[in-house]
């Protein structure tokens, strides 16, 4: 897998299924692969949580151009 960094060109975005819940976004490559080894511990915890609640609290993720670009 290509090395990712905080300035990744893409993000994997999980949208909330309910009002007043937060969205989650993580740096990824163009096909949505997230390098978990490069995430901080809090971000890794959020990523694993988002994956666990897909379809229950969060939407299936989408790959989008990073908002930092």
Per-residue pLDDT of 3-60, as tens digits, reads: 444 458 999 999 999 999 999 999 999 999 999 999 999 999 999 999 999 999 999 9
Q: What span, in angstroms and rounded, lies between the C-alpha atoms of 30 and 27?
A: 10
Assign 3-state DSSP to the chain and report helix, strand, coil percentages, each to 5.
Answer: 20, 25, 55
pTM over 0.85: no
């Amino acid at each position: 897998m290509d090395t990712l960094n905080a300035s990744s060109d893409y993000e994997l975005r999980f949208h909330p299924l309910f009002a007043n819940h937060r969205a989650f976004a993580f740096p990824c490559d163009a096909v949505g692969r997230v390098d978990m080894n490069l995430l901080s511990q809090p971000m890794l915890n959020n990523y694993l949580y988002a994956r666990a609640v897909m379809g229950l609290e969060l939407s299936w993720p989408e790959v989008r151009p990073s908002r930092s670009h």
